[in-house]
Amino acid sequence: MTSRLISIQKEPFSVDTVIDEVKAASNGIGAVTTFLGIGRDFSKGEVITDLNFEHYPGMAEKKLEDIRARALANFNIIEMAIYHRVGPIAVGEDIVLIAAASAHRNDSFMAAEWAITELKRVTPIWKTETTSGGVVWVSQTP
């Protein structure tokens, strides 16, 4: 069963709403670290005009849930949310959000950094960038 704190969606998400959902887990939260990935207009020497994300439905959500569960088990955090958009994304729009909550800042920083690295490593989400040279499939890590 997928947590309400895991989402793969076409529509934009609200960073404030996601942070509020994470903070609602406990009054013991003293820090929330966020990673927000945004569509940029330049990569590898090329101007990017459009971005598109595809995913393996069901499997991608399962991988995000697994990342969240492992972060909760292996880092001293209280809660974590992971949201990722798919479909066409305009340059400047939000793509991915990870919010990690803990009693102290260092734990949330470490968990958020690990989670985005793991997401890019194992989650079946693929990106294309449209440039002057055409559409290019992008490897998961730059």
What is the percent of the chain where pLDDT is above 90? 87
CA–CA dist 97, 114 (Å, integer): 13
pLDDT in tens, 33-86: 999 999 999 988 889 999 999 999 999 999 999 999 999 999 999 999 999 999
* Alpha helix positions (H), 2-136: 15-23, 59-74, 105-122
Q: Please give the torsion angle defined by the CA atoms of residues 41, 91, 109 and 9, in that order, rounded to the nearest 10 degrees.
A: -150
Which domains does the chain possess? 6-133 (3.90.1170.40)
Nearest alpha-carbon partner for 84 in 110, 46, 122: 122
What six digits make up the tokens of 117?
């690295």
Query: pTM (2 decimals)?
Result: 0.93
pLDDT of residue 2: 53
Distance CA 74, CA 91 (A): 34
Task: Determine the pLDDT at residue 1.
Answer: 42
Q: How far is it, in rounded angstroms, from Cα 22 to Cα 25?
A: 6
CB atoms within 10 A of CB 10: 10
Residue 7 phi/psi, 5-degree rounding, is -150, 135
